[in-house]
Amino acid sequence: KRAMTYGKRAEDSEGAASPVEDFDWITNNLDMSISCAQNLEEEMARLLTLKSYLILDAKREQKFERITALAGRIFDVPIALVSLVDLGRQWFMSNRGLGGRETPRSLAFCAHAIMSTQDLLVVPNASLDPRFMN
């Protein structure tokens, strides 16, 4: 029986290491010093909750467009997003300064934020952070 918590390698019930499959929801470059292990049951519960809101792939709404516009002005940043992390993708309810409505989950800052043990994910310089620099 395979362990349901995933990282670089999983162990079967006999303790032998076996490679972890390439799942869309697995974030392979987590900083484990500030992240919890990824757990299939918790991820399924999170995704079911997200799906229950019935907002994925919805049309743009002015209230969210106002939030991203305001955030961009307040923080003086070129990109502001309201994003939701789905299975395999990060979907944008609203975005300013970034083309498209989604990115692969593997590229998402938010995929790291939902696995963080910290209250706030701070990335001072993404171009120097090994999780995001490529």
The predicted-structure confidence for 41-58, as pLDDT tens digits, reads as follows 888 998 999 999 999 999
Whole-prediction pTM: 0.68
Tell me what the mean pLDDT of segment 62-77 comes to.
96
Rounded mean pLDDT, 86-114: 88
pLDDT at 132: 79
Residue 71's φ and ψ, nearest 5 degrees, are -60, -40
Enter the tokens of residue 64: 């969210």
Predicted confidence at residue 3, as pLDDT, reads 36
Torsions phi, psi of 31, nearest 5?
A: -85, 100
- pLDDT for 109 equals 84
- Structure tokens of 4? 């349901």
Question: Above 50 in pLDDT, residue 2?
Answer: no
Could you count the other beta carbons within 10 Å of the beta carbon of residue 120?
6
